[in-house]
Structure 1
Amino acid sequence: MLKKILSVSGKPGLYKLVSQGKSMLVVETLVDSRRLPIYAREKVTSLGDIAIYTTGDEVPLYKVLNSVKEKEAARPASIDPAHATPDELRAYMAEVLPDYDRDRVYPTDIKRLLSWYNLLIGAGLTDFDPQPADNADDDNSDEPTLEDNNASPKAGNTRPPVVKNTAMHTTASAAAKTPVGKSTQRMRQK
Structure 2
Amino acid sequence: MSLQKILAISGKPGLYDLKLQTRTGFVAESLLDGKKITVGLRANVSLLSEIAVYTYNEEVRLAEIFKAIATKENEGPAISHKETDENLKAYFREILPEFDEDRVYTSDIKKVMNWYNLLQSKGMISIEALTAQEKPEEASE
Q: TM-score, normalised by structure 2?
A: 0.87
- Secondary structure in 1 matching 2:29: strand
- Secondary structure in 1 matching 2:34: coil
Partner of 1:115: 114
Partner of 1:91: 90
| Residue deviations 1:62-81 (CA, integer Å, cap 9, x gap) | 0000000111111111x221
Distance 2:92 2:100 in 1: 10
- Secondary structure in 2 matching 1:98: coil
Is the Cα–Cα contact under 8 Å of residues 61 and 134 in structure 2 kept in the other structure?
no
Moved >6 Å (runs of 4+): none
Partner of 2:28: 27
5+ residue gaps, structure 2: none
Q: How many corresponding residue pairs?
A: 132
Is the Cα–Cα contact under 8 Å of residues 68 and 95 in structure 2 kept in the other structure?
yes
Is the Cα–Cα contact under 8 Å of residues 64 and 134 in structure 2 kept in the other structure?
no
Partner of 1:130: 133
Distance 1:54 1:131 in 2: 16
| Residue type at the aligned position of 1:47 | L
Bigger radius of gyration: 1
Is the Cα–Cα contact under 8 Å of residues 63 and 134 in structure 2 kept in the other structure?
no
Distance 1:26 1:131 in 2: 27
Distance 1:122 1:102 in 2: 28
The reply on whether 1:65 has 2:66 as its aligned counterpart is: yes
Distance 2:9 2:103 in 1: 22
Any residues of structure 2 matched to 1:1-190 within 5 Å, and which? 1-77=2-78, 79-82=79-82, 84-126=83-125, 127-128=129-130, 129-130=132-133
The percentage of counterpart residues that share the same residue type is 40
Q: Which has the higher strand share?
A: 2
Is the Cα–Cα contact under 8 Å of residues 23 and 39 in structure 1 kept in the other structure?
yes
Partner of 1:183: none
Higher RCO, 1 or 2 (CA under 8 Å, sep at least 6)? 2
| Residue deviations 1:151-188 (CA, integer Å, cap 9, x gap) | xxxxxxxxxxxxxxxxxxxxxxxxxxxxxxxxxxxxxx
